[in-house]
Structure 1
């Protein structure tokens, strides 16, 4: 099956839209192949502001409708307590709200941007999507992350080389309660690095320490700019550390 086949068979769909590489290409493809598609972006404490800005920009560039839904991610105690399977409860919360709104808007087929490279066995959120019968056209059509990036580049989408981005909750260790304050501190610290030109990084909360993780190719720059980085991040974390092993791409 190709995406064209998928959207021929399912020509009225609601997309859980993050503004990332995968869901952006999926939104583009749906419009390209003539589907009636409505994108739903759920804005909670787990998404930084730049993700919403990217979602708005992409939807505008491809001419797709975008519904922005505000959600308190921490209203679910199972999410706030941050267990190993937090993503299961979070996806239930997010897509439960999307399903409800999409039904009101007349959409019964819900899709998301999971691709064929994503390991379903290691993703509690995937189990939640399956239970809610959310479909993943990229996975169904065998399109990997590399495929999506290549196709996005060919389509001229600005998201083609956007780094993969996991939500802010992943910066807090499992078992430690997630609070608005902790998320604010992480987002503020990461904004400092973003404004300095770094990409594909994380600042993880480890007690009172902000642990900076960057790809190995950016580590020299972090060390060279350590004084400026420390000055910028100090309002958010009492201590700052650098992970010398470099950032791994899995989260």
Structure 2
């Protein structure tokens, strides 16, 4: 069997390491890194998931299930980014403080186990997006094997399918804090009501969507081609009643549809350059 070239590159890179910790969210990117790391290093590779109020319990459960499927040793650590006003006040570079907390937790965790290499799941496409967290990773010497091997998102999905990972087509699900407009304070109560709203839609069978939380308003985004089906098939009065029971006053549907990174459209070019647009 001919191994895809980009997979060979990733395997060769990981083969150079003695041991590693993978910052493992359970998303398709970090799952690929964890899978290949375990294939190459065995139990010398360790996947670590950070649990905090911005991670839905279902996503943590998925991470555990996927790690068990791969076979990689998996541990969960707690992070406390919400306790940092630089994060909870939700500035445009909020992700910098999130990743700082993550890596300042993972690095000593790794060192205590004699591990020097900490890896993340950033892929090549991320370099063209607004990602303030990259700066925090760079400052701390975190390695991004997918970027080093020129592996983009489409490559990640193709390689994951090639390796037989059932989650190769899993939708992107960033942390819940990414659903709030910049400048709105993020609190535990707001994260909990948002988690309830997204859980309601997940349980109803919707996959690739967002609930944006703007003050007392929940704004639902589904794929543009699914807007008609959403209106026709969802029990809207029940949805509104449930969302209000979660703590929202208003419930709306975004007629533009879901678009990744939509809340970044308010940023001006100066902010993008200063806080994390890499391209």
TM (norm. structure 1) is 0.96
Deviation at 1:28, TM superposition (A): 0.6
Structure 1 residue 70: Cα displacement: 1.7
Which of 189, 202, 209 is the aligned partner of 2:197?
189
1:246 to 239, 257, 266: 257
Aligned to 1:234: 244
RMSD: 1.4
Aligned residue in 1 for 2:78: 70
Structure 2 stretches of 5 or more lacking a match?
Answer: 1-7, 263-279
1:68 is paired with a residue of what secondary structure? strand
Instruction: Assess, with a 3 A threshold, how the Cα gap between structure 1 residues 121 and 243 changes in structure 2: closer, same or farther.
Output: closer
Q: What's 2:9 paired with?
A: 2
Query: What displacement does 1:120 show?
Result: 5.7
Q: Does 1:52 align with 2:60?
A: yes
4+ aligned runs moved over 6 Å, structure 1: none
Matched with 2:266 is none
* 2:24 pairs with 1:17: yes
SS at match of 1:59: helix
- The 2-side partners of 1:119 and 1:16 are apart by 18
Q: Tell me, yes or no, if structure 1 residue 160 matches structure 2 residue 171.
A: no
Report if aligned partners of 1:46, 1:73 keep a CA contact under 8 Å in 2.
Answer: no
1:144 equivalent among 152, 175, 178 = 152
Distance 1:208 1:185 in 2: 11
Alignment partner, residue 27 of structure 1 = 34
Does the 8 Å CA contact 1:38/1:64 hold for their aligned counterparts? yes
Provide the secondary structure at the position in 2 that maps to 1:38: strand
In structure 2, C-alpha distance between the alignment counterparts of 1:93 and 1:75, rounded to whole Å: 10
Gaps of 5+ in 1: none
Mapped contact 2:119–2:142 kept (Cα < 8 A): yes
Q: Secondary structure at the match of 1:67?
A: strand
